[in-house]
Amino acid sequence: MKTINLRNYYYPCYKEDVLVEVSDEVAEAIIRSVREMENHYRRTCRHKAYYSLDAFDWTENYALEHSPSPEDLLLLSEEQADHERLLSMLEEALTQVTEIQARRIRRYYFQGFNFTQIAEAEGVNKDVVCRSVHAGLKRLRKFYSRQRRTE
C-alpha cells in the first residue's frame, strides 16, 4: 500500500494536502497517467502545437504523432543494428553459394531486375534463373541458421 497526495496529482485546487492510501497498482496507474499528461504537454510545447489546437481537429494529433517516443527510438536503433549486422554477414553468406547464384541474387534483390530480365541478359530460360535464385536462398537460410546457433 502506498500513500499518495491527491493535491499533487489530480486536484491542484485543493488548499491542503489530502493523503490517501491506495494499492500499489492504483498508485502506479496514477503516476503513469500523470507522466503521460506531462509528456503530452511537453511535446505540445516543443512542437509549438499549443497556439492553434482549436483551429482544426487534427492539428494537435498531427504535431504529436510525428515525434517518435524514446521507446520507438530505442526499437528503431535496435532494428538498425540488426540490419547492419545482417548486411555485414551478407557478403560472407554469398560466398557460400555458387558465383552464378550470387550474381543472380544480387541482380534480383539489390538491382531490382525480375527473373525475365535476368534470363534475357544471360541468354537462359526464366525457369533456370528462378530455380537458381531459390536454391541460392535456401543455402543462405542454412548459413544464417548455422550462424544463429553459434551465437
User: Is 86 a residue whose pLDDT tops 90?
Assistant: no
Q: What is the DSSP letter of 5?
A: E
pLDDT at 52: 54
Query: Which ranges constitute the DSSP H helices of 1-105?
Result: 6-9, 24-46, 59-65, 70-94, 99-105
User: Is 48 a residue whose pLDDT tops 70?
Assistant: no
User: Is 54 a residue whose pLDDT tops 70?
Assistant: no
Segment 124-139 shows an average pLDDT of 93
State what percent of residues in the chain have pLDDT above 90: 28
pLDDT at 142: 87
Segment 62-68 shows an average pLDDT of 68
pLDDT at 114: 92
Q: Which residue, among 63, 62, 81, 84, has the nearest Cα to 73 in the 3D structure? A: 81
Q: What is the rounded average pLDDT for all residues in the chain?
A: 83
Bridge partners of 5?
19
Residue in the block written with cell 527473373:
115
Confidence of residue 103 (pLDDT cuts 50, 70, 90): very high
pLDDT at 38: 86
Stretch (H or E) spanning 131: helix 126-150
